[in-house]
Amino acid sequence: MSEPQPDDSESESSESSESSETSPTGFAALGLRDELVTTTNALGYEEPTPIQRLAIPEMLTGQDILGQAATGTGKTAAFALPILNGIEPNAPAIPTALVVVPTRELAVQVSEAIFKYGVEQRIQVVPIYGGQPIHRQLQALRRGVHVVVATPGRAIDHIRRGSLALDAIRTVVLDEADEMLDMGFTEDIETILETTPKDRQTVLFSATMPRRIMKIAEKYQRNPKQITVGAAESAADKALIRQTAYVVTRHHKSNALGRILDMEGPSSAIVFCRTRGEVDELTATMNGRGYRAEALHGGMDQQQRDRVMSRLREGTAELLVATDVAARGLDIDTLTHVVNYDVPSSPESYVHRIGRVGRAGREGVAITLAEPKQRRLLNNIERLTKQTFDIQKVPTIGDLREKQITVTVEAIREAMMGDDLEDYNSVLFGLASEGSERTIALAAIKLFHQGRGATADEVEIPDASERMLRDDRPGKGKGKGKGNYDGDRGGKPGAGKGGKGGKQVGNVGPGTSLIFVGLGRKSGVRPGDLVGCIANETGLTGRDIGPIRITENYSVVGVPEASADTVINAIGATMIRGKKARARRYVD
């Protein structure tokens, strides 16, 4: 008698149940090698983020990627893990992947992440960037590396020296591509892409997708897979960011910022300034007000910058005052507030900045200090973000004192709940003959209130928002000012009257100063060198700089009038194409 056979439906159900129990989940489901899955588990990564879930399987097939994702969405792992997946454990240390990033901070950050992910495979990775002795980088490259993370200028330096071998490069990643183009690195990026093997995989990540990014993609990518992450998430994140603007005259700005932060009480904040001089000055002012503030700008060496970031991450500093360029690529989980000490001239920069708060369901605050004449810049941002600024009045002296009293009351109320009050009974007993308990309590409260840094502001800050509204009336100020943030000052070098080599330098409008730089084509200077130097050292963006004319022996570049002296000092204190440059105001 034959044994009864299991019913087909039961068999299928059993197999299906078994399959669901054993099917891989998390990072294992993306097709990554075991070593990488082990590492991600050890690092506490349970589930891939949306950008990782979409990008990793595509990259594993060798597909070019054009990805739009903001900082903080996990895109470093999205490109790093597939790169590492293609490197065998203990493989010969030759460069197979090149990651290009806009700043040295981001180069270090990405390099550290790749090293962490590749620890099981013994991956060798090196960051190469300006500001670090090149001989150290040369030694690391000679010893052998699998992955190179580089800023554009330093990558070009090593390619020209022959110290960065590109023959075996299989993947090139452009991270924060819009930032690199804003900083004037278009030429360098194109040179890098043209020097690497034609059959490489090209991966481009950017927080925004302006036309100039699409042009790079069209020219250098092969049928890229477009991935956009977080349209819905971004809308939710925006809703979690309270965006406020205060209209203040320049003279009152630092006092206004101090008062606003006193009212807000941030646990960790970043304040963006235009220039390194402004950063140093504001840092001193905020420290004098009782904040633990740290400065970050292009005039600091890497050791100083590392110390600043350690203090911020450890919580021994609560306020980071930085230029836009110096802070690019920084990812600080603890931030609650972002402050624009000036309205960014580029709306995209504003989006980048405020994207540092309001993540992962946490609430955040974005504060902008605008001068009355900057209504148009606020309008540009509102058009891009499709949100309207909440224009607030700077807190009054009365508002500040009321807030300070409230904070003191809360702190004392909490102390009254403590179980160690009797330890201080001897102090009360020692003062009993000096006055009543009420007098003693008031004196103690006064000392506590003053000791916690409550500032005794005595001068009211005038409200300038009405002045902004007056200046913004139809017909007011026609034909004046610089025009929109993306006006024609940054046109082609030598454009405008006079053409190349002529006496005129582009369409120089009111508020623009021309700077003479004593290096030209003979020294190998290109527009990107000038824009990169000025942007890195002053905090101006690529949109603020131009027009540019380069002759055989010198160059002329346009910058905002208010930043002219800062730019002259910055150029004089740094190197362009490895040479010292003289800078002064241009006289025709």
Give the number of other Cβ atoms within 10 Å of residue 242's Cβ: 15
Q: Which pair of structure tokens corresponds to residue 148?
A: 């190179």
Give the C-alpha separation, 172 to 318, whole Å: 37
CB burial class (10 A; 0-12, 13-18, 19+) of residue 304?
A: middle
Question: Which residues, 6+ apart, have CB-to-CB distance to 296 below 8 Å?
Answer: 279, 305, 308, 309, 320, 321, 322, 323, 326, 327
pLDDT of residue 327: 65
Give the C-alpha separation, 47 to 25, whole Å: 8
> Is the pTM above the cut of 0.75?
no
Give the position of tokens 């990026």.
Answer: 189
Largest CA distance in the chain: 110
Give the C-alpha separation, 344 to 377, whole Å: 7
From-to residues of CATH 3.40.50.300 in the chain: 20-229, 233-394
> What is the architecture, at CATH level 2, of domain 20-229?
3-Layer(aba) Sandwich (3.40)
Q: Is 392 helix (H, G, I), strand (E, B) or coil?
A: strand
Measured distance between the N- and C-terminal CA atoms of the chain, rounded to whole angstroms: 110
pLDDT of residue 315: 77
Give the C-alpha separation, 186 to 528, whole Å: 7
pLDDT of residue 212: 85
208 residue type, one letter: T
pLDDT of residue 490: 36
Residue 94 per-residue DSSP state: -
Are the C-beta atoms of residues 320 and 308 closer than 8 Å to each other? yes
Give the C-alpha separation, 164 to 94, whole Å: 10
pLDDT of residue 509: 60
pLDDT of residue 86: 93
Give the C-alpha separation, 96 to 91, whole Å: 11
Which H/E stretch holds residue 255? helix 253-264
Q: Where are the alpha helices (DSSP H) in 417-500?
A: 425-431, 437-451, 465-471
- CB burial of 457-491 (b: ≥16 within 10 Å; e: otherwise) equals beeebeebbebbeeeeeeeeeeeeebeebeeebbe
Give the C-alpha separation, 217 to 238, whole Å: 28
Give the C-alpha separation, 471 to 455, whole Å: 33
pLDDT of residue 500: 37
pLDDT of residue 339: 94
pLDDT of residue 489: 33
Q: What is the CA radius of gyration of the chain?
A: 28
Are the C-beta atoms of residues 560 and 546 closer than 8 Å to each other? no
pLDDT of residue 111: 93
From-to residues of CATH 3.30.70.330 in the chain: 488-585
Which string of DSSP letters, residue by residue, matches 439-451?
A: HHHHHHHHHHHHH
Give the number of other Cβ atoms within 10 Å of residue 427's Cβ: 11
Topology annotation, domain 233-394: Rossmann fold (3.40.50)
Please, which contacts does 472-477 make with residues 24 or more away whose CB atoms are closer than 8 Å? 472/375
Which H/E stretch holds residue 424? none
pLDDT of residue 310: 80
Are the C-beta atoms of residues 168 and 136 closer than 8 Å to each other? no
pLDDT of residue 163: 93
Q: Could you tell me the mean pLDDT of each successive run of 10 residues in the chain, 588 residues long?
A: 46 43 72 90 83 93 89 84 92 94 86 92 91 86 94 92 93 90 85 94 88 90 87 48 89 90 88 88 88 85 80 83 72 81 82 72 84 85 84 85 81 83 83 84 81 64 68 43 33 36 48 88 85 78 80 89 86 83 84
pLDDT of residue 328: 63
Q: What is the CATH number of domain 488-585?
A: 3.30.70.330
